[in-house]
Amino acid sequence: MDSRRSNGRGCSINGPKCLPFPPDLLSCKLRGALAEGANFKESPPVHKRKSTVAEIRARFDADVERFSNLETGQSATIDAPLTMELIVRAAAITNPQARHVLDIGCGAGNYALKLLQHLPGLDATLVDLSEPMLQRAKQRVRTVTTGRVSFVQGDIRELELGCKQFDIVLAAAVFHHLREEAEWQSVFAKVYAALKPGGSLWVADLIEHSVPAVQKMMWERYGECLRGLKDVAYRDQVLAYVEQEDTPRPLIFQLDLLRDCGFRTVEILHKNNCFAAFGAIR
């Protein structure tokens, strides 16, 4: 039975910053309440203060190199190269005639670069919280496409995306910074509104698990993976900033919310431990 709630199809967006789209297209508006705080099982409880946007931005400003390796992706992400390849291939075969891609939380541009290998000539709009990340992405992406490339520094919760602008939206390691459910609903509905009919969203991200015992097991296993990459100090460093900054949600929660926002199809590409790659078709 279809249990959809309000689906956010009204194309409504609120925020002080907007992408460079024609004014008539920016007249569409999308409802959504923004909030702060959330509960991440096996992380500090909700009353412990999470990092502010400014603090998260500062960390990424100082960490550009870690996000600049096209072959390995983020080293702290399980199956990062496989996930990146699956997502860009899925995007390319789902929307082979795509003309415009939006990369939310683009970092140094890895996902956009990979997608352009499959769909050369795309127009691309790259968004990131960190200006140094955007500068690195600009250096890399502009050299590999004949399409128009735009770069926007800002928080996806505050940016206006317009209506029916994009064929493909990429979101790698970004949604886990959202806090309460209203914020997730607002951003997912905003992305839905920004996609053209038939367009697709592709996500690679940290997730949590609904059963506390399973979450604990997966978290411990992730810690062992990190220790195997380097050492105990590296494991503790990564787990500490995840607990301080991030508020991921279960994969099932996100898939259900995508349907509630109006996406007609959702697709799981890959899941390993506390990371998943998935998509949704408008």
pLDDT digits (tens, 9 = 90+) for 201-211: 999 999 999 99
Residues in the chain: 282
pLDDT above 60: residue 9: no
pLDDT digits (tens, 9 = 90+) for 53-90: 777 766 665 576 666 566 666 778 999 999 999 999 99
Arithmetic mean of pLDDT over the chain: 83
| Pair type for strands 265-272 and 195-206 | unpaired
Q: CATH number for the 17-28+56-281 domain, one of 3.40.50.1100, 3.40.50.150, 3.20.20.80, 3.40.50.620?
A: 3.40.50.150
- Note the Cα 266 to chain centre separation in Å: 16
Across the range 212-232, mean pLDDT stands at 95
Q: Where do the domains of the chain lie?
A: 17-28+56-281
Cα–Cα distances (Å) from 142 to 79, 136, 145, 146, 168, in that order, read 27, 10, 6, 8, 18
Residue 199: per-residue pLDDT: 98
Residue 69: per-residue pLDDT: 60
pLDDT digits (tens, 9 = 90+) for 148-203: 999 999 999 999 999 999 999 999 999 999 999 999 999 999 999 999 999 999 99
Write down the pTM of the prediction.
0.80
More confident residue, 40 or 91: 91
